[in-house]
Structure 1
Amino acid sequence: MTRTNVLLLMTDQQRADSVGCFGSPVVETPNLDWLASQGTIFTQAYTPSPSCIPARAALLTGQKPWNTGILGMGRGQGPMGVGFAHTLPGELAKAGYHTQGVGKMHFYPQRTLNGFHHTVLDESGREEDPGFVSDYRKWFQRHKDGDYDITDHGIGWNSWMARPYHAPEHLHPTNWTVNESIEFLKRRDPAKPFFLKTSFARPHSPYDAPAYYFDLYANGGKAIPAPYKGEWASMHDDPEEAARPDAWRGVRSDEEIRRARAGYYGSITHIDHQIGRLLTYMQKIGELDRTLIVFVSDHGDMLGDHNLWRKTYAYDGSARVPLIVRPPRAWGKPARAVVDTPAVLQDLMPTVLDFLGLPIPDTVDGISLKPLMEGKSVGREYIHGEHSTCYSEEQEMQYMTDGKRKYVWLPRIGREQLFDISRDFREERDLSADGDWREELDVWRKRLVAELEPRGAGLTDGGRLVSQAGKPFLVSPRYRERLEASPYKWMS
């Protein structure tokens, strides 16, 4: 058996432009930049569904959201559940790997393994199973030095507000996640290669970076970029929603946005330093150079772009993610250091299996990215993503992109958008009403029809897209199939 280990480093809600090697002039990520210098950066990597559960299900299974049955969060989607035929940790476990998940898994039931041998969990504030308390919360309670809890700073799990972490830095969940990853490496079965998923709960809000990292951006003289504001962004100028401390849209003050970004960027640099600590330990025990390392996030964060916060949107702040793949050092550097062919999260399972010479299950929808790293073509023209209604019917969406153009359909308000992201990466100018772009708009519309027509779900009719206004929420039949086959009552 190959001795190649696999380390999957995953952040939560990290946008692609918040990493130095992806072009950020502000955010310091020296360890990620170093990994990228030895591997391949995928500049046009996207999430197939920009919120936690559907994105993570796609990565776990190699399937598109329609086939996992999870098209979003809420409104008939329910939790992730169980019953997937094949998962990445499950396939590696069958191949003789010792598999461990550390941090945020977002599974339900929360202690289900979905192919892992073991998980050690930080599920932020989620306590969905009767009696469930996360491993991180138990550890925090044992090690704190006062009468306070994990979010006594007063900032919610989806808030735009920000402030420095309220407890000593060593108690932060980012540190704990690396502590537990190192502990696994100390206690793993040394006779087997390992698959370790180190899954951070940040930079997802609360934007509560430890004081050193918060001050690095808030008070360190760094030029925090202003949010992008499209000509069309006034559709999200919602004063009533904006007044909420966890608003999903609306105008906030320049200072509030700057503070949010300082906390968010500080969380990313904090994560990067802790990743460096993990890599240093792996080097010390002689495992770093024989480990395939993948760094990715599940989705991004709008951070005030276009008067939007959080995720679920087709715009790059929400939908484009950082993706770095670094082969074991003994294999040499990939032929291509930068790939601009579109990639999507369901590609990661076949990519890892391909690198290891393991069979790829026929349930997998994604493609291996290994040929792209070797300078070959894979014949992919574009990728598709979607999200069902969550915050409001207005934000349900379908999108397609080839990394140069992006087409967006908002089915419940009957609106299309087209962006030339090769020239307008800020997505500030919607070209859908521009006559010069009518033919290209029609090309993208037909592509989306071709993607959705086989579902027979009422999204198309005779080659047209059909408005979903007033219709029941879209639910994939795959979701119901897994529910009925499951011994758990994980969907009401």
Structure 2
Amino acid sequence: MTRKPNILFLLPDQLRHDFLGCYGAGFLRTPALDSLAAAGTRYETAISPAPICVPARASMLTGQPAHETGILHNLCWLRPDRRAMGIATWPELLAGAGYHTAAIGKMHFYPWDRAEGFQHRVISEDKRHIHVRDDYHHALTAEGHGKLHGHQMAGYVETKGAAINPLPDHLQPDRWVARRAAAHLRGMTGDQPFAMMVGFPGPHCPYDPPATALDRVDPAGLPPALPRTEESAVLLPELVAGYRRDWAELDYSELTEAQIRTIRHHYAVSVERLDEDVALLIEALRETGKLDNTIVVFSSDHGDYLGDFGLMGKGFFHEPSIRVPLIVADFRQPEAKVETAPVTLVDLFPSFLTWAGLPPAPQSRGAVLGTATPDRAIFGVTSRGVMLRQGRWKLARYHAGSEALFDLGADPGEQENLIAARPDIRARLDALLTAEMLRGMTAGHADKTVAAAKSPPEGAFHDRFWHRPYPAPAG
């Protein structure tokens, strides 16, 4: 009988694609990830259609876009009765098919210790969740340390989030997660296949590598930020208001070139260290003899502006926010490929099921990786706005009142808003956007369906005291 492949899913938080060597970044070194890409498929255009942490993760977990899950911002989570609706997570389905499922690191579930189908969890909800008493918290306190707010780190205020993390190397957030994940890989024995997700807290802000690592990257070699635009200026106040809250306590109403350069420097250093963490896991697979039967997936939940357009973080639909790396290396048959057809994070769910030999799940809206076509239209939505991206064109609308149309072929830096100049393209994308929004809204409210309302006269629906089933199964 053919052995089912192991699946190792590596998910750093807030990693943009163009800060990896295999995506053309010549200003830093990522040899482990470059080697991973050389052993598998690198997806040139991978999109996070809901570029905020929790919405993106809910979509990856269920295979449903954000307007179906209803998770449009970071302060909500999947409904607790989703199983009654027939909505399963990919780790639930794989566990039912005989896989050992494990989640190590940051998952961003609510409650934070919820399993969501993972049979084993080691939890590090760090970087901004400093009050969560998770496994990482206990590891820190056991050695006389604690989680730190950015304000407790040198440089945080002066450079708008670029700080120095004073913790010992083995307790740095990403390094701690990598070491725990490697230990779990080494501790697994027998022939049971595994599906393991490793959630790295970084390089999400605060941008806080240790001081000893700063000389790894030359700040002078970093690419400059994209210029501010009239369109991005409309969006800035909402971003500023978000970062002024107590989780960050930063004022991004102004950013100097020097601050942007320092932020990018710290981010690049953190990415280089992340690459070392990935190398630890690949080596653990190789040492235990598991690598030759493992599919390794590397991606992120969304990107990071890093000063592009005068913005920070994510949440809007510009390329630095929605473009993520996606590398799939199947070590059963290593082969270097580059796929240019656009894919989305929602595609991971059906791909995991296919690789595990499972049938498609009715809830899934994604395409199995490798089957997408170049003209695919990608719809995106968050509580801030909506997007439709097809080919070289992208339409975005925001509740703040702005509307933008970009020709990504002629203007990859999204500097010229063509919303008034190309009404034909605007109308075509708007029709696709509207159709997908209506489809997803209908599917997202399937729990309220009363199918018996169409029953024949002898159906129980017509009798007094008939009981309405709720929630109705999604279909």
- Given the two structures, how large is their TM-score scaled by the length of structure 1? 0.82
Q: What residue is the counterpart of 2:106 in the other structure?
A: 104
Change (3 A) 1:454 1:155: farther
Separation of aligned partners in 2, 1:143 and 1:240: 37
Separation of aligned partners in 2, 1:452 and 1:239: 23
Q: How far apart are residue 379 of structure 1 and its match?
A: 7.5
Q: How far apart are residue 148 of structure 1 and its match?
A: 5.6
Q: What residue is the counterpart of 2:458 in the other structure?
A: none
Change (3 A) 1:156 1:94: farther
Mapping 1:2-21, distance limit 5 Å: 2-21=3-22
Q: What residue is the counterpart of 1:423 in the other structure?
A: 410
Q: How far apart are residue 168 of structure 1 and its match?
A: 1.6
Q: What residue is the counterpart of 2:299 in the other structure?
A: 296
What's the secondary structure of 2:397's corresponding residue?
strand
Q: How far apart are residue 293 of structure 1 and its match?
A: 0.7
Residue type of the partner of 2:387? Y
**For 1:280-306, what per-residue CA distance to the aligned partner results, in whole angstroms no more than 9, with x for missing partners?**
121111111210010000001111111
Residue type of the partner of 2:327? I
- Tell me if 1:409 matches 2:397: yes
Q: What residue is the counterpart of 2:461 in the other structure?
A: none
Q: How far apart are residue 108 of structure 1 and its match?
A: 1.2
Contact 1:386 1:397 in 2 (8 A): yes
Q: CA RMSD in A?
A: 2.8
Separation of aligned partners in 1, 2:125 and 2:142: 17
- Tell me if 1:198 matches 2:198: yes
Please, which moves more after superposition, 83-92 or 3-12?
Answer: 83-92
- Tell me if 1:113 matches 2:115: yes
Q: What residue is the counterpart of 1:364 in the other structure?
A: 364
Q: How far apart are residue 352 of structure 1 and its match?
A: 2.1
Change (3 A) 1:23 1:83: farther
Q: What residue is the counterpart of 1:235 in the other structure?
A: 234
Residue type of the partner of 2:109? F
Contact 1:236 1:249 in 2 (8 A): no
Separation of aligned partners in 1, 2:448 and 2:323: 29
Q: How far apart are residue 69 of structure 1 and its match?
A: 1.9
Residue type of the partner of 2:225? P
* Alignment partner of 2:420 out of 426, 433, 451: 433
Separation of aligned partners in 2, 1:380 and 1:68: 25
What's the secondary structure of 1:162's corresponding residue?
coil
Contact 2:6 2:194 in 1 (8 A): yes
Separation of aligned partners in 1, 2:236 and 2:103: 40
Q: What residue is the counterpart of 1:24 in the other structure?
A: 25
Q: What residue is the counterpart of 1:319 in the other structure?
A: 322
Residue type of the partner of 2:234? M
Change (3 A) 1:239 1:325: closer
Change (3 A) 1:479 1:222: farther
Change (3 A) 1:31 1:126: same
Q: How far apart are residue 25 of structure 1 and its match?
A: 2.3
Residue type of the partner of 2:382? H
The structure number with the bigger radius of gyration is 2
- Tell me if 1:273 matches 2:268: no
Separation of aligned partners in 1, 2:6 and 2:239: 50
Separation of aligned partners in 1, 2:213 and 2:191: 39
Contact 1:100 1:195 in 2 (8 A): yes
Q: How far apart are residue 200 of structure 1 and its match?
A: 0.1
- Tell me if 1:261 matches 2:264: yes
Contact 2:130 2:147 in 1 (8 A): no
Q: What residue is the counterpart of 2:463 in the other structure?
A: none
Contact 2:66 2:72 in 1 (8 A): yes
Residue type of the partner of 2:226? Y
Separation of aligned partners in 2, 1:229 and 1:404: 21
Q: How far apart are residue 86 of structure 1 and its match?
A: 1.3
Contact 1:54 1:80 in 2 (8 A): no
Change (3 A) 1:149 1:11: closer
What's the secondary structure of 2:153's corresponding residue?
coil
Separation of aligned partners in 2, 1:480 and 1:307: 43
Separation of aligned partners in 2, 1:358 and 1:455: 24
Change (3 A) 1:255 1:456: closer
Please, which moves more after superposition, 238-247 or 316-325?
Answer: 238-247
- Tell me if 1:445 matches 2:430: yes
Residue type of the partner of 1:297? S
- Unpaired segments ≥5 residues, structure 2: 450-469
Separation of aligned partners in 1, 2:31 and 2:448: 45
Separation of aligned partners in 2, 1:106 and 1:309: 20
Q: How far apart are residue 356 of structure 1 and its match?
A: 3.0
Change (3 A) 1:139 1:120: same
Separation of aligned partners in 1, 2:446 and 2:204: 29
What's the secondary structure of 1:293's corresponding residue?
strand
Contact 2:101 2:119 in 1 (8 A): yes
- Given the two structures, how large is their TM-score scaled by the length of structure 2? 0.85
Q: How far apart are residue 14 of structure 1 and its match?
A: 0.8
Q: How far apart are residue 235 of structure 1 and its match?
A: 3.2
Separation of aligned partners in 1, 2:355 and 2:403: 39
Contact 1:239 1:250 in 2 (8 A): no
Q: How far apart are residue 2 of structure 1 and its match?
A: 2.0
Change (3 A) 1:239 1:479: closer
Contact 1:6 1:194 in 2 (8 A): yes
Q: What residue is the counterpart of 2:388 in the other structure?
A: 400
Separation of aligned partners in 2, 1:48 and 1:139: 35
Residue type of the partner of 2:180? E
Separation of aligned partners in 2, 1:411 and 1:94: 42
Mapping 1:338-377, distance limit 5 Å: 338-371=338-371
Change (3 A) 1:192 1:148: closer
- Unpaired segments ≥5 residues, structure 1: 373-377, 389-395, 458-475, 486-492
**For 1:240-264, what per-residue CA distance to the aligned partner results, in whole angstroms no more than 9, with x for missing partners?**
9499564575331111111111111
Contact 2:295 2:329 in 1 (8 A): yes
What's the secondary structure of 2:386's corresponding residue?
strand
Separation of aligned partners in 2, 1:102 and 1:479: 32
Identity %: 31
Separation of aligned partners in 1, 2:292 and 2:220: 35
What's the secondary structure of 1:207's corresponding residue?
coil
